Amino acid sequence: MSEPTPYDPVDGLGVVLGDGVLRLTLDRPDKRNALDDAMVTGLIDALDAANRDEAVRAVVLTGNGDHFCGGADIVARNAADPSAPRPRVGSIQRRTPSLAHRLIPLVTSVQVPIVCAVRGWAAGIGCQLALAADFTIAADDAAFWEPFMQRGFTPDSGATWLLPRRVGMVQARRMLLLGERIDGATAASIGLIHDAVPAAELDGAVEALVARLASGPTVALGLTKWLLHSGRTSELDEQLRNESLALELSSRSDDFREGLAAFKDKRSPDFKGR
User: Both 50 and 179 in a single domain?
Assistant: yes
Q: What's the domain count of the chain?
A: 2
**Rounded mean pLDDT, 229-248:** 94
Report the pLDDT value the prediction gives residue 220, as an integer from 0 to 100. Answer: 96
Query: Is 2 inside any structural domain?
Result: no
Query: CA 67, CA 143: separation in Å to the nearest integer?
Result: 9
Residue 245 and residue 210 in one domain? no
**Residue 74 in this model has a pLDDT that exceeds 80:** no
Per-residue pLDDT, averaged over 22-32, amounts to 96
Same domain, 227 and 200: no
Read off the pLDDT band of 98 (50, 70, 90).
Answer: low
Q: Which residue, among 104, 74, 75, 110, has the nearest Cα to 92 in the 3D structure? A: 74
Give how far Cα 153 sits from Cα of 67, 219, 254, Å: 23, 41, 50
- Expressed as residue numbers, the domain containing 232 is 218-265
pTM (predicted TM-score)? 0.91
Last residue of a domain, one of 174, 190, 214: 214
Does 5 fall in a domain?
no
Residue 3 maps to a domain: no
Establish if 174 belongs to a structural domain.
yes
Residues 111 and 223 in one domain: no
